[in-house]
Structure 1
Amino acid sequence: MTTDCSLTVVGSINADITATTSRLPAAGETVGGGRLSRSPGGKGANQAAAAARLGARTRMIGAVGRDSDGRAMLEALRAAGVRTDDIAEATAETGTALIMVDAAGENQIAVCEGANASVSLAGIEFGADEAVLTQLEIPLDLIVELAQRVPGFLAVNAAPARPLPAEVVDRADLIIVNETEYCRLPQLQTGQLVAVTYGAKGSALLQKGEQIAFAEAVESTPVSAVGAGDAYCAALTIGLISGLAPERALRAANAVGAAAVEVASAQPELDVFETYLSAVD
Structure 2
Amino acid sequence: MQQDIQVTIVGSSNVDITALMRRLPGPGETVLADSYQLSPGGKGANQALAAQLAGAATEFIGAVGNDSHADIALGQLKDAQVVLDRVARSAKPTGVAIIQVDSAAENSIAVVSGANATVDSDAVAEAGQLHGIVVLQGEIPASGITAAMDAATGRVVLNLAPVIELDRAHLLAANPLVVNEHEAALILQQLDASDAPTNDAEPVIAQRLLEHGLASVVITLGANGCLVAERGAPIQQLPAIKVKAVDTTGAGDAFTGALAARLAHGDSLAQAAGFAGRFAALTVQGHGAQSSYPRHLADI
- In structure 2, relative to structure 1, the CA distance for the partners of 1:28 and 1:14 (3 Å cut) is same
Distance in 2 (alpha carbons) for counterparts of 1:273 and 1:212: 31
Q: In the TM superposition, what are the counterparts of 1:227-246 in structure 2 within 5 Å?
A: 227-246=250-269
Deviates more, 1:205-214 or 1:145-154: 205-214
- In structure 2, relative to structure 1, the CA distance for the partners of 1:233 and 1:72 (3 Å cut) is same
Distance in 1 (alpha carbons) for counterparts of 2:86 and 2:5: 19
Residue 111 of structure 2 is matched in structure 1 by 111
- In structure 2, relative to structure 1, the CA distance for the partners of 1:112 and 1:164 (3 Å cut) is same
Amino acid corresponding to residue 128 of structure 2 in structure 1: E
Residue 259 of structure 1 is matched in structure 2 by 282
Any conservation in 1 of the 2:158–2:174 contact (CA below 8 Å)?
yes
Distance in 2 (alpha carbons) for counterparts of 1:101 and 1:209: 41
- Unaligned runs of 5+ residues in structure 2 are 192-208
Any conservation in 2 of the 1:11–1:62 contact (CA below 8 Å)?
yes
Any conservation in 2 of the 1:11–1:135 contact (CA below 8 Å)?
yes
Residue 159 of structure 2 is matched in structure 1 by 157
Distance in 1 (alpha carbons) for counterparts of 2:267 and 2:284: 23
Amino acid corresponding to residue 44 of structure 1 in structure 2: G
Q: Secondary structure at the match of 2:290?
A: coil
Is 2:132 the partner of 1:135?
A: no
The structural deviation recorded for 1:276 is: 5.0
The structural deviation recorded for 1:221 is: 1.1
> What's the TM-score, normalizing by structure 2?
0.85
Residue 81 of structure 1 is matched in structure 2 by 81
Distance in 2 (alpha carbons) for counterparts of 1:97 and 1:228: 15
Residue 206 of structure 2 is matched in structure 1 by none
- In structure 2, relative to structure 1, the CA distance for the partners of 1:61 and 1:248 (3 Å cut) is same
Distance in 2 (alpha carbons) for counterparts of 1:51 and 1:19: 27
The structural deviation recorded for 1:52 is: 1.0
For residues 35-82 of structure 1, the C-alpha deviation after alignment (integer angstroms, 9 at most, x for no partner) is 111100000000011111111111110000000101222222101221
> What's the TM-score, normalizing by structure 1?
0.91
Distance in 1 (alpha carbons) for counterparts of 2:170 and 2:256: 18
Q: Secondary structure at the match of 1:100?
A: strand
The structural deviation recorded for 1:209 is: 9.7
User: How many aligned positions are there?
Assistant: 273
Any conservation in 1 of the 2:96–2:111 contact (CA below 8 Å)?
yes
RMSD of equivalent CA atoms: 1.9
Distance in 1 (alpha carbons) for counterparts of 2:10 and 2:35: 31
Q: Secondary structure at the match of 1:38?
A: strand
Residue 148 of structure 1 is matched in structure 2 by 150
- Unaligned runs of 5+ residues in structure 1 are none
Following TM superposition, the consecutive aligned residue runs of length 4 or more in structure 1 with deviations greater than 6 angstroms are none
> Which structure's residues are more often strand, by fraction?
1
Any conservation in 2 of the 1:60–1:87 contact (CA below 8 Å)?
yes
Report percent identity of matched pairs.
38
Q: Residue 270 of structure 2 is aligned with which of 237, 247, 271?
A: 247
Residue 206 of structure 1 is matched in structure 2 by 229
Amino acid corresponding to residue 32 of structure 2 in structure 1: G
Q: Residue 243 of structure 2 is aligned with which of 188, 201, 220?
A: 220
Residue 173 of structure 2 is matched in structure 1 by 171
Any conservation in 2 of the 1:134–1:156 contact (CA below 8 Å)?
yes
